[in-house]
Structure 1
Amino acid sequence: MAAGRTAPGRLAPLAEEDTLSLGERAYRRLRESIVQGRLPAGRKISERSIAGELGISAQPVREALRRLEQDGMVVTLPRRGTVVAEMGPAQLGELGRIRAALEGVACALAAERMDAESLAAIAAVLKRMKSGTDAADHDTIDEANEEFHALIHRATGNLFLIRSLASLRAYDNLGRHRAVGSTPRDLPKALVEHRGIVAALKKRDPALAEARMRHHILRSLVTNGVLPAPERKPRRP
């Protein structure tokens, strides 16, 4: 069955031309299905049925489920087996704060290590982001945003940090899918913040890059309803 015509609650078979390992492909498909809500919280996952839906053997599914359990996206319960983990607002908020901290660290390292070619690439991504913002084109903005962060992550050269952020971004997507999300009025804020981050990277200022990235992530989490808005301090008389 084609991916576009997959029945609700079922997974589309994996494409044969995909060059990734079966375990990696199964992991990505299952994680995407959890984030998109096609596999809801509390849903029991059967290795055999998932393998049948994906058109593969049970071993890659078992491998994928082990990784998802390490990510905290599925849990093994007594007498129930493997189920999709419950992920409430408080947990998503905590993970969002962790991601903000790690994204800040990544941006600081990128400010020190990013080469001229990568800086040119991120400037080109920023132009695409502006075009998407001007047109209120969320697809273009989302694609540019993913590439923007990926360029910063790669520039760190730190595999542990890259993998940790990749796992946390799945929770970020999960939070966005459960929230109201950005309105057209919010889009220019993100563009201004991304411009500020690029300026800090070009200045080779790790402290400024880290601060601006952390602010950007935390502000986006508030906008998407994952974190509550900070209380405003009363003005001094």
Structure 2
Amino acid sequence: MKPHLIQLTTTPDLVEQVYARLLDAISEGALQPGERLTQEDLAQRFAVSRQPVLQALRLLKKDGFVEDAPGRGVQVTQLDVAWIAKVYQVRGSLDALAVRLAAERSAQLAPGIFEQGRQAESSQDVKAMVDADLAFHRAIYQASGNPLIAQSIDLHWHHLKRVMGAVLQSSHQRQTVWHEHEAIAQAIAKGDADLAVRLVQEHAYEASLQLTARLSEQLLHKPKTGAHP
């Protein structure tokens, strides 16, 4: 006798689509910290039933991007300085492993990555700057030859995109960022693993200090809103 299986009412693909759209909106700041989200409103905006929205919100809550709101529904999780610092600790360790493996292969990063970064830096387009930074680090993860690195850090990058976008909207990117990126890439290409590791760890540490300091300042001076009724 065949086992009885419960009929599935929601396709995983639809849940994944709603999840991805909401995650992008949160990561890029289209949905602001503290903004309330309801199943009914999101279902109407996405033109889907409430079920895939409910499942997507549960996944976002598990991943730390939304939290229960007072009263009803959920809200976008507030940016937390201590949490971001911890995320940078993880990123620094994975970046160090990635550059060491890439340097052992004397990997060459595509020049277009740096052209993209310089153009974004000149334009002061926040999304372009964040995307260019992500492209550089993803190139290193690919160059490492270990796909588990990119898989392990992908979720953390969405948290980093949130804080990078929030900070860069009101302040400029560090002037040394792409100089640091190029120095890391040169060390990798020369096969100098120890230098590459040192440079990428310094890069991650400095980025963490700068972003968390600016975020702390923003949160300190942020006016109280009706985000928490």
TM-score by shorter chain over 0.5: yes
Aligned residue number for residue 12 of structure 1:
none
Match of 1:208 among 195, 203, 209: 195
> Is the 1:114–1:155 contact (alpha carbons within 8 Å) kept by the matching residues of 2?
no
The amino acid that maps onto 2:133 is N
Work out which of the residue numbers 56, 79, 83 in structure 2 matches 1:87.
79
Pairwise CA distance, 1:131: 5.0
Residue 37 (structure 2) pairs with residue 45 (structure 1): yes
1:81: how far off?
4.7
- Is the CA contact 1:114–1:156 (under 8 Å) kept in the aligned structure 2? no
Gaps of 5+ in 2: 1-12, 216-229
Q: Number of residues paired by the alignment? A: 201
Matches within 5 A, 1:5-20: none
Q: Name the structure 2 match of 1:138.
A: 124
SS in 1 for 2:37: coil
Distance 1:103 1:45, change over 3 A: same
* Structure 1 unaligned regions, length at least 5: 1-20, 229-237
Contact 2:106 2:190 in 1 (8 A): no
Change (3 A) 1:164 1:138: farther
Task: Kindly provide the CA deviation profile for residues 108-146 of structure 1, in whole angstroms up to 9, marking residues without a partner as x.
Answer: 22323575xxx252x33224434555xx22345444323
User: Does the 8 A contact of 1:92 with 1:226 survive in 2?
Assistant: no
The secondary structure found in structure 2 opposite 1:83 is strand
Q: TM-score under structure 2 normalisation? A: 0.71
Q: Structure 1 counterpart of 2:172, which letter?
A: T
1:93–1:226 contact (8 Å) kept in structure 2: no
Alignment check: 8 A CA contact 2:104 2:191 kept:
yes
Paired with 1:45 and 1:129, the residues of 2 have a C-alpha distance of 34
Paired position in structure 2 for 1:190: 177
1:217 equivalent to 2:209? Answer: no
Q: Is the 8 A contact 1:42 1:83 kept in 2?
A: yes
Post-superposition shift, 1:29? 1.8
% identical equivalent positions: 27
Distance, in Å, in 1 between the alignment partners of 2:14 and 2:133 is 28
TM-score (norm 1): 0.69
**Structure 1 residue aligned with 2:222:** none
Counterpart Cα distance in 2 of 1:62 and 1:204: 49
Of 17, 22, 42, which residue of structure 2 is paired with 1:25?
A: 17
Counterpart of 1:75 in 2: which secondary structure? strand
